[in-house]
């Protein structure tokens, strides 16, 4: 939304940095979707791709919260903190289900 409303000053001040950041976030989203579909369909590589993608999500959430903390936008920092906690809970639940299935 910020991109669409031209509220990303880094497009002018540090275009390479923001471009790489956006590519990483888009790739993370793509892998989350693909991994989720593959887990749902019980594909052989689904769990591995899913776990890699949620690891990428954790990094993205931490990195994004740092960006907003730097700019003093604490509402977004709280939102990303909640997303971080939810993601850790989802990973923990996924791994506990997988461990229970193998025992």
Residue 4 lies in a domain: no
Residue 44 lies in a domain: yes
Using an 8 Å Cβ cutoff, are 30 and 52 in contact? no
Domain range for 54: 10-102
Question: Whole-angstrom Cα distance, residue 48 to residue 52?
Answer: 6
Using an 8 Å Cβ cutoff, are 58 and 88 in contact? yes
Residue 1 lies in a domain: no
Calculated CA dihedral for residues 15, 7, 80, 100, nearest 10 degrees:
-60
* pLDDT tens by residue, 28-71: 999 999 999 999 999 999 999 999 999 999 999 999 999 899 98
Average of per-residue pLDDT across 74-85? 96
Using an 8 Å Cβ cutoff, are 68 and 76 in contact? yes
């Amino acid at each position: 939304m910020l991109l669409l409303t031209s509220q990303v000053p880094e497009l002018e001040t540090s275009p390479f940095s923001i471009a790489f950041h956006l590519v990483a976030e888009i790739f993370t989203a793509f892998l989350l979707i693909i991994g989720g579909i593959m887990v749902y369909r019980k594909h052989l590589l689904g769990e591995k791709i899913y776990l890699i993608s949620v690891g990428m999500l954790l990094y993205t959430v931490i990195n994004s919260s740092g960006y907003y903390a730097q700019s003093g936008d604490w509402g977004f920092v709280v939102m990303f903190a909640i997303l971080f906690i939810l993601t850790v809970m989802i990973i923990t639940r996924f791994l506990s289900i997988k461990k229970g299935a193998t025992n």
